[in-house]
Amino acid sequence: MKPADAVVVTGGTRGLGAALVRHFHASGRNVVMNYRNQAAADRVRSQIEAAGGKGNLLAVEADVRDRHAVRALFEETIAAFGGADTLVNCAGVNRDAPFLELTDEDWDTVVDTHLKGTFICSQEFVRQLKTGAGNIINLGAACGVQGRKNGANFCSAKGGVLALTKCMARELAPKIRVNCLTPSAVDTEEVRERYALDTEAGLRQVLGGIPMGRLGAHEDVLHMVDSILNASFTTGTTFYVNGGEFMQ
């Protein structure tokens, strides 16, 4: 086993995080699936076992907001695979409410999970990467640029992730590349619930704002992830996967 032989996916039991875990495992990577919910982790593990694949899976429970828990996650990664050369910061949570109704807890929970969690996980990833090159992919959101109603905490956190990506890219180059993946209008449980996509009216309204005329699939995001990891001269860049819904 060579050093730094695994990919760590935080928030790896739901939506795009789970899709990334399955994708990396199927492609032969050793995957560390970070989780908070045991039942969700068991479900993803069962899916992977049923599908087969060439890689190995290590599931590690850790709150990305907790420095000690994240450090323990990487210690387990080193013990199992010699370390990690790729980190995908996918962990997230939503607590939507009108601006004047947001509580301190709503703010802290969302901002700490998305922004502080990305900061802590990235620091600990870099510290365990003793040799070789590495990749960090942070999950962004278009609302981190343009904002939206009832999401001041989420949008602020994602705006911070965009800035953090650029700062990290400058400081960690040339050894480690840091980029931001910003999907939108992708068919996930969270998106379906938020925009009522299971209703004809909700789906019609969303599709009306997408030039490509369809929702994104997990595969659209996975193809972009592979492209980012193969783009050896690219860092500090935001990659939008949204069918043209948001253009910059």
The predicted structure's pLDDT at residue 194: 79
Q: Is residue 193 a part of any domain in this protein?
A: no
Residue among 139, 138, 135, 157 at smallest CA distance from 147: 157
Instruction: Note down the domain range covering 152.
Output: 6-183
Q: Are 150 and 124 in contact (CB under 8 A)?
A: no
Q: Which amino acid is at 28?
A: G
With a cut of 50, list the residues of the chain below it in pLDDT: 1, 3
The predicted structure's pLDDT at residue 140: 97
Q: Number of folded domains in the chain?
A: 1
Q: Is residue 88 a part of any domain in this protein?
A: yes
Q: Is residue 225 a part of any domain in this protein?
A: no
Torsion of CA 247, 159, 157, 83, to 10 degrees: 90
Full-model pTM: 0.95
The predicted structure's pLDDT at residue 2: 52
CATH number at residue 78: 3.40.50.720
The predicted structure's pLDDT at residue 4: 58
Q: Which residues partner with 16 through β-bridges? A: none
Quick one: three-class SS letters along 182-217? EECCECCHHHHHHCCCCCHHHHHHHHCCCCCCCCEC
Q: Is residue 209 a part of any domain in this protein?
A: no
Average pLDDT, the chain: 95
The predicted structure's pLDDT at residue 107: 98
d(CA 201, CA 174): 48
pLDDT digits 0-9 by tens, 87-96 = 999 999 999 9
